[in-house]
Amino acid sequence: MRPSGRARDQLRPIVLETDVNKYAEGSCLARFGDTHVLCTASLIDAVPPWLRNSGRGWVTAEYGMLPRSTDSRVDREAARGKQSGRTQEIQRLIGRALRAVTDLTGFGERQIKLDCDVLQADGGTRTAAITGAYVALHHCFQHMQRFGAVKAIPLREPVAAVSCGLYEGEAVLDLDYAEDSRAQADANFVLTASGGIVEVQATAEQDPFSRAQYDLLLELAEAGVRDLVTHQRAALGLD
Amino acid sequence: MRPSGRARDQLRPIVLETDVNKYAEGSCLARFGDTHVLCTASLIDAVPPWLRNSGRGWVTAEYGMLPRSTDSRVDREAARGKQSGRTQEIQRLIGRALRAVTDLTGFGERQIKLDCDVLQADGGTRTAAITGAYVALHHCFQHMQRFGAVKAIPLREPVAAVSCGLYEGEAVLDLDYAEDSRAQADANFVLTASGGIVEVQATAEQDPFSRAQYDLLLELAEAGVRDLVTHQRAALGLD
Amino acid sequence: MRPSGRARDQLRPIVLETDVNKYAEGSCLARFGDTHVLCTASLIDAVPPWLRNSGRGWVTAEYGMLPRSTDSRVDREAARGKQSGRTQEIQRLIGRALRAVTDLTGFGERQIKLDCDVLQADGGTRTAAITGAYVALHHCFQHMQRFGAVKAIPLREPVAAVSCGLYEGEAVLDLDYAEDSRAQADANFVLTASGGIVEVQATAEQDPFSRAQYDLLLELAEAGVRDLVTHQRAALGLD
Amino acid sequence: MRPSGRARDQLRPIVLETDVNKYAEGSCLARFGDTHVLCTASLIDAVPPWLRNSGRGWVTAEYGMLPRSTDSRVDREAARGKQSGRTQEIQRLIGRALRAVTDLTGFGERQIKLDCDVLQADGGTRTAAITGAYVALHHCFQHMQRFGAVKAIPLREPVAAVSCGLYEGEAVLDLDYAEDSRAQADANFVLTASGGIVEVQATAEQDPFSRAQYDLLLELAEAGVRDLVTHQRAALGLD
Amino acid sequence: MRPSGRARDQLRPIVLETDVNKYAEGSCLARFGDTHVLCTASLIDAVPPWLRNSGRGWVTAEYGMLPRSTDSRVDREAARGKQSGRTQEIQRLIGRALRAVTDLTGFGERQIKLDCDVLQADGGTRTAAITGAYVALHHCFQHMQRFGAVKAIPLREPVAAVSCGLYEGEAVLDLDYAEDSRAQADANFVLTASGGIVEVQATAEQDPFSRAQYDLLLELAEAGVRDLVTHQRAALGLD
Amino acid sequence: MRPSGRARDQLRPIVLETDVNKYAEGSCLARFGDTHVLCTASLIDAVPPWLRNSGRGWVTAEYGMLPRSTDSRVDREAARGKQSGRTQEIQRLIGRALRAVTDLTGFGERQIKLDCDVLQADGGTRTAAITGAYVALHHCFQHMQRFGAVKAIPLREPVAAVSCGLYEGEAVLDLDYAEDSRAQADANFVLTASGGIVEVQATAEQDPFSRAQYDLLLELAEAGVRDLVTHQRAALGLD
């Protein structure tokens, strides 16, 4: 039934590869099928002005798409002179998701900037970005730990994200672009390894959907995130 | 327990006043307690380029806050030269919410622009904006009907929005700023009169929350929206 | 002769209402007929860099129009990414007008920001804005006086503004849009209660006008401002 | 009494030189003492969209200052990415002043763009710009007449501008920077050769001024403009 | 003598990999050592306005660096709201270089947009971009040829680029960042397979250099480009 | 053979005039035939942040064209809200050229800003700008020397620039616009009085050119710059 032939509850092939950038303190190339997002974590020895002398650090994110990451080339945001509303919405989401599992008092007055750049897009770029950014962030803290900048990794538990949607009346996991563009409803779930809800964004693309349908989507997401967390732990060498 | 003394499932005093602008085809001043949003619907006899010759219309929204709508004055976005990510996120949400209940084939190749300007903010501006924008849009269609521009009102059913959150461990309805700024979780629900889900945006501000907590929030929202729809119908003289 | 049926020297119905905003230190909703301008005065505990350590304060203004304040919707300046030349011209005028009657040495190194937002426009928005901004500013100083931040109100005398113009060959007071759009000449006068001239901006829209005609306009304005000052004093409870 | 030693009613040395640009259809370098403004008139074979098929032409102006035209270097507006409010105010004024004496139906659907660039500024740049722009515009129409594009010069009469002000309590003509920066009041008058008023902008820099003082300023301006018109006619070879 | 241990006339390891993007009509990941540039060629069925009805096509380029492509993170140009002068300079250079070998009359009224995005930078990003963009462009024409859109590949001959410089007094080929940041002179050569000069940009970073030194740099570049062209032909399967 | 009738190795009439601005510490109006560039040097008592406490100064340049400096009026960059890529490229080139001959340790922690504004353009504006900017800079140092701010002029030797190109198959010196717009190749050379190469920018506009052709262009430039340096020394009163 799905264009890709996947089962309703089947993720695309997931590859999380670390150490993909020579300079970044942490990095991860996250592939969800043909969606490829390059995530880097950059350690900056200064916090935003409103956190100075607070003893706390900060984690923030930026997001971008290469012009030909998509089927039809999109204009370069740097050339247009501003980031779209969609871009800003996504980078705010990534930042909130990662801060929700980070102990901001645990790494001094430093800032970690997560850059999530989409090299190729086939649906679900924001969920791949969150999943990869977690790996890059953890990777960055491992680097800081090696150099004594932190004693323990200041992350409470893994966080990952996946989209679910109603496609031809059925709830399916991890929509690719062919599904996403025709879905009746589309929901992005950011969940923790222990099943806690960090963020839900659910949108009826056509008719409103029911609470029962919503519950099906959430159940798919819970299973999907458990799977993604396993990939994250493997990529970080934690198993 | 709530700073305002309200019961957990109690909305703030709701006032939806129509005909508040001399020029707009539809208008509504929506008050949720001390949150006041002026909503106007402007009928424009042209659609965006990508809808020309499609026979379809379009509904879109813009959102803004007056600089001193808040406790501390915020910079004027026109002076800063760009709309914030938050502003863009909210105006995209309002547009999606209204389009979800509008028959875009039912009013010709015309565009209706919903301007939601916050005169005073005390939490929940986006939900007041959606609730008021629905009234302004319906009001605009009533105006078009009087002049024969549409035969029937091309709206499938009312839509309204309300926020819920976890405040001191309890699920509460329609957060004001005093609650919102200290809530553990904050969720905005856009629901239809018949209970359909149009959009959910739920965010853990501190620790992740559980599915059971989420269900409590949704139940509060369902009751709240039923109440708001009653106010909408009364404002539009439909009872 | 006038579209509104007013006498040549007759103002529109004037309503100046204070305390229209929960947060602002001073506020006034100024109505000149169907022209409605919401004026707030915000007290800021810092001056611009070039006044630091001068012992002097500053008063400045910003101006904006809601998109549907006018007959045809105008683009939102925040969305277009810049303020128009007209907007900047008007906000500079408002600031100069208020500073002309303010003792800038009388309230410490503080800044008062006057936001004048047009909710509905029917001609004369800049003159309503100046007239209302004076009330909001005085109101703000009354607030500061109550809390001991100033001993005396640091305002030398009231200032108000009104437009006059040549309409169908006749000099008329306080043009509404129907008159303004067809006037041969249009002049904005900012005058003090004692008749001093603070600012004159007179423009021939079609043929140049004569000095005798200019004198007639000024005389109308002098009477009009006397009337407006009476409204200001009443709104501030000074009679 | 004046820093320059001039009499109260004495203009600075005025030089209006035409044909100062190889390409422009009309051009004039206007010098009011040390204030030097290069004015070019560019003929463009298209009108703004709102005038298409109206049979009417348009005249508009742009204004700029070279960064080191002033005593202290000012930032380049092109580098800052926007024109200041002052710049926009001045270029709108120049455009209105010239349109007031132009028969817009007399040169077809064409646009003439007046660029007024300040090479050196010593007070009164806007009045020098208007005075020089009139010469450049007339010069451009003479060029069009030679090539048969217009039969008669579509200008009703000359227009020129001069500033007056209250300096050390006295009314003086054509303020230079040393006077302007210390004036109690400053007024710019745009008048026609026959004495008609096109535009007045009068501002009290410190205390409000009286109607009697205003009348003195206007009388100085009337004499000054008569003098400037003589210079304009000579520069255009019309005597 | 070189930090990398390379011989004076030795290129870094060169890898040119095609088919690295699912959507682009042509693509090449160009690696010059640790400098990695992703080049895509996007075929667009429309030319810029000034080429309409000319029968000619156009080739243009855009360039960008990912924020953490460099040792210290640089600000995202999309977030800053404009492209730097350096970025614009480089993308103009890439476009000119490719147009110099393209027969613009040989592929109809179409545009090919070359996006060169630096994933990792270690000196020489503009030369890697030109070298990779040639491969992506040829690759795109091969694709068009397969679908009959062009009969012959409209490229006159290969073009490639390399930098040379004076490092510790010696002329060296293909500077990496460690060399570039300390070079006395830095020159970028864009040459064709047959040795023709397309573009030279030579800059003395410290003292001026002599014509004899310049000749040494050009000779190194000629040999380097011969080598790069061999890599290009291999990547395109032309040998 | 040349449109102007000049010999292949003949410069246009060169005029370098100093003291053309009342305020600037150094100034030069550089005329290369009909190309006129006004260059001012502004002394600023502060360096960019990255040079504070370094004991070093800085020299930088800005470039602009008046809208009607060209045959067809170009849009004003300040009105468009950004500087073009060409403008940025040229101003970066001017800055590098002048810094290459300046002893940045020889005038304290000060900045000199060179503004090069094109009043009239007939080809070669960047080379006239560099040649004139050198005079303005030297002029500024002479001014500083008179007031004791520097002991010796911190310039190692004169620098000047000239363009050469291949026009109808022949190498010619100092292209005017008629030649430039039809040249096969165009090269800008920045050379010192002693023949050192500071910068070369050579571009094939049509077919690639050969090394032998390049050598002819360089030889023309060497002779041209020797001539320009003579003009510079005369303008500065150094002979």
In a mutagenesis test of the E interface, which of F157, F164, F211, F229 is the best target, namely the one with the most E β-carbons within 10 Å? F211
Residue E28 has pLDDT above 80, yes or no: yes
Q: CB under 8 Å to B66, separation ≥6 — which residues?
A: B117, B118, B119, C38, C40, C115, C117
Q: Where are the beta strands (DSSP E) in chain F?
A: 14-18, 26-32, 35-44, 58-65, 111-120, 159-167, 170-173, 185-192, 197-204
C-alpha–C-alpha distance, residues E40 and E114, integer Å:
6
**Quick one: which of F89, E117, B49, E43 has its CA closest to A76?**
E117
Q: Report, as an integer, the average pLDDT of B26-39.
A: 98
Position C77 scores a pLDDT of 95
Q: Among residues of chain F, what percentage have pLDDT more than 70?
A: 100
Using DSSP, state whether F98 is helix, strand or coil.
helix
Tell me what pLDDT residue E239 has.
76
**Residue pLDDT, tens place only, D45-101:** 989 999 999 999 999 999 999 999 999 999 999 999 889 999 999 999 999 999 999
* Cβ pair C67:B113 closer than 8 A: yes
- Give the span between the Cα atoms of E76 and E70, in whole angstroms: 12
Q: Which residues of A touch B (CB under 8 A)?
A: 82, 84-86, 88-89, 91-92, 96, 100-101, 187, 191-192, 194-204, 206-211, 213-214, 218
> What confidence tens digit (pLDDT) does each residue in E97-135 have?
999 999 999 999 999 999 999 999 999 999 999 999 999
| A-chain residues near E82 (CB < 8 A) | 78, 81
Q: What is the DSSP letter of A155?
A: B
Residue with tokens 């009607």: F68
Tokens coding D231: 């210079």
**For range E198-226, the mean pLDDT:** 94
Between CA A195 and CA A176 the distance in angstroms is: 24
CB pairs under 8 A between A and E: 88
Q: pLDDT at position A180, please?
A: 94
Interface of E with A (CB under 8 A): 21-24, 27, 34, 38, 40, 42, 44, 62, 64, 66-71, 73, 76-79, 81-83, 87, 113, 115, 117, 119-120, 122
Contact C119, C38 (CB under 8 A): yes
pLDDT value of residue E157: 96
- pLDDT (average), residues D1-10: 95
Q: How is residue D145 written in tokens? A: 């007449």
Q: Is the pLDDT of residue A205 over 90?
A: no
What pTM value is reported for the model?
A: 0.91
Encode pLDDT of D169-196 as tens digits: 999 999 999 999 999 999 999 999 999 9
Strand extents, DSSP E, chain E: 14-18, 26-32, 35-44, 58-65, 111-120, 159-167, 170-173, 185-192, 197-204
Mark yes or no for CB contact C211/D201 under 8 Å: no
Per-residue pLDDT tens for D161-176? 999 999 999 999 999 9
Is the dihedral angle over the CA atoms F62, F188, F172, E210 positive or is it negative? positive
Residue F206 is predicted with a pLDDT of 78
Q: How far does the CA of residue A36 sit from the closest CA of chain B (Å)?
A: 24
Tell me, letter by letter, the H, E, C secondary structure of chain C.
CCCCCCCCCCCCCEEEEECCCCCCCEEEEEEECCEEEEEEEEEECCCCHHHCCCCCCEEEEEEEECCCCCCCCCCCHHHHCCCCHHHHHHHHHHHHHHHCCECCCCCCCCEEEEEEEEEECCCCHHHHHHHHHHHHHHHHHHHHHHCCCCCCCCECCCEEEEEEEEECCEEEECCCHHHHCCCCEEEEEEEECCCCEEEEEEEECCCCECHHHHHHHHHHHHHHHHHHHHHHHHHCCCC
Tokens 């000779």 label which residue? E219
Q: Which residues contact E181 (CB under 8 A, 6 or more apart)?
A: none
Nearest to C197 by CA among D18, D218, B59, E130: D218
Using CB atoms, pick whichever of B192, B201, B208 lies closest to residue A198.
B208
User: Average of pLDDT values for E214-221?
Assistant: 96
Contacts of B191 (CB under 8 A, 6+ apart): A208, B159, B160, B161, B197, B198, B221, B222, B225
Residue of chain A minimizing CA distance to B193: A208
- What pLDDT tens digit does each residue of chain C (239 aa) get? 899 999 999 999 999 999 999 999 999 999 999 999 999 999 999 899 999 999 999 999 999 999 999 999 999 999 998 899 999 999 999 999 999 999 999 999 999 999 999 999 999 999 999 999 999 999 999 999 999 999 999 999 999 999 999 999 999 999 999 999 999 999 999 999 999 999 999 999 878 999 999 999 999 999 999 999 999 999 999 97
**The 3-state secondary structure of chain D, one letter per residue:** CCCCCCCCCCCCCEEEEECCCCCCCEEEEEEECCEEEEEEEEEECCCCHHHCCCCCCEEEEEEEECHHHCCCCCCCHHHHCCCCHHHHHHHHHHHHHHHCCECCCCCCCCEEEEEEEEEECCCCHHHHHHHHHHHHHHHHHHHHHHCCCCCCCCECCCEEEEEEEEECCEEEECCCHHHHCCCCEEEEEEEECCCCEEEEEEEECCCCECHHHHHHHHHHHHHHHHHHHHHHHHHCCCC
> Which phi and psi angles does B92 have, rounded to 5°?
-65, -40
Long-range own/partner contacts, residues E147-151 (CB < 8 A, 24 or more apart): E149/E107, E149/E108, E149/E110, E150/E106, E150/E107, E150/E108
Q: What is the pLDDT of residues E161-177, one digit of tens each?
A: 999 999 999 999 999 99
Chains in contact with C, where contact requires at least 3 CB pairs less than 8 Å apart: B, D
* Beta bridge partners of residue F163, listed in sequence order: F188
The closest of D187, D186, D137 to D159, measured between CA atoms, is D137
Q: Where are the domains of chain B?
A: 14-75+82-236
Q: Which residues contact E78 (CB under 8 A, 6 or more apart)?
A: A64, A76, A77, A78, A82, A83, A87
Spatial distance between the Cα atoms of E200 and D174, rounded to a whole number of angstroms: 55
- Per CB-CB distance under 8 Å, the chain A contacts of E70 are 23
Which of A62, A78, A122 is opposite residue E64, by nearest beta carbon?
A78
pLDDT for the residue A142: 97
- Hey, are the CB atoms on D87 and F66 less than 8 Å from each other? no
- Residues C140, C142, C147, C150: what is their CA dihedral angle, to the nearest 10 degrees? 90
Which residues in C have their CB inside 8 Å of a CB on B? 21-24, 27, 34, 38, 40, 42, 44, 62, 64, 66-71, 73, 76-79, 81-83, 87, 113, 115, 117, 119-120, 122
Would you state the pLDDT for residue E224?
98
In total, the C-beta contacts within 8 angstroms joining chain B to chain C are 88
Token pair 């460690």 is at which residue? E178
The residue of chain E with its CA nearest to that of A39 is: E68
C73 CB neighbour count, 10 Å cutoff? 20
CA distance F25 to F141: 8
pLDDT for C130 equals 98
CA E206 to chain centre: 25
For residue A213, the chain B residues in CB contact (below 8 A) are: 197
DSSP string, B138-205: HHHHHHHHHTTS-SS--BSS-EEEEEEEEETTEEEES--HHHHTT-SEEEEEEEETT--EEEEEEEES
DSSP state of F6: -
What ipTM was predicted for this assembly?
0.95
Task: Measure F22 CA to nearest chain E CA, in Å.
Answer: 31
Beta strand B170-173 pairing with B159-167: antiparallel
The sheet that has D14-18: what strands, in order across it?
A: D14-18, D26-32, D35-44, D111-120, D58-65
Max alpha carbon distance in chain F (Å)? 57
Write out chain B residues lying below 8 Å of C22, CB-based. Answer: 34, 120, 122
**Separation between Cα atoms, residue E129 and residue E37, nearest integer Å:** 6
Closest CA to C11 of C237, C225, C232: C225
pLDDT tens, residue by residue, D22-43? 999 999 999 999 999 999 999 9
> Would residue F74 be called left, alpha or beta, if left means φ above 0 and alpha means ψ between -120 and 50 degrees?
beta
- Give the closest of C192, C199, C214 to D203, CB-based: C199
Q: List the structure tokens of A213.
A: 């349908």
Question: At A107, phi and psi to the nearest 5?
Answer: -145, 25
Question: Does the pLDDT value for residue B207 go beyond 90?
Answer: no
- Across the interface, do E115 and A24 touch by the CB < 8 Å criterion? no
> Cα–Cα distances in Å, from E91 out to A110, C215, D178, E114?
35, 62, 48, 9
User: Has domain F14-75+82-236 been given CATH number 3.30.230.70?
Assistant: yes
DSSP 8-state class, residue E75: P
Best mutation target among D73, D77, D118 (most F Cβ atoms within 10 Å) is: D73
Report, as an integer, the average pLDDT of D104-112: 96
| Cβ–Cβ under 8 Å, residues F129 and F39 | yes
CA E74/CA E89 separation, integer angstroms = 18
Give me the pLDDT at residue B217, please: 96
C-alpha Rg value of chain B to the nearest Å:
18
Burial class (CB in 10 A: 0-12, 13-18, 19+), C81: middle
| E26-32 β-sheet, strand order | E14-18, E26-32, E35-44, E111-120, E58-65
pLDDT band at D1 (very low <50, low <70, confident <90, very high): confident
* Residue B206 confidence (pLDDT): 78
Rg (CA), chain A: 18
Q: Tell me if residue F107 falls in helix, strand or coil.
A: coil
**pLDDT in the model for residue E206:** 78
Residue E152 pairs with which residues in a beta bridge?
none
- Give CA separation, E170 vs C20, E32, E177, F210, in Å: 76, 21, 16, 25
pLDDT digits (tens, 9 = 90+) for A95-145: 999 999 999 999 999 999 999 999 999 999 999 999 999 999 999 999 999
Q: Which of A197, A207, A210 to mutate to test the interface with B (most CBs of B within 10 A)?
A: A197
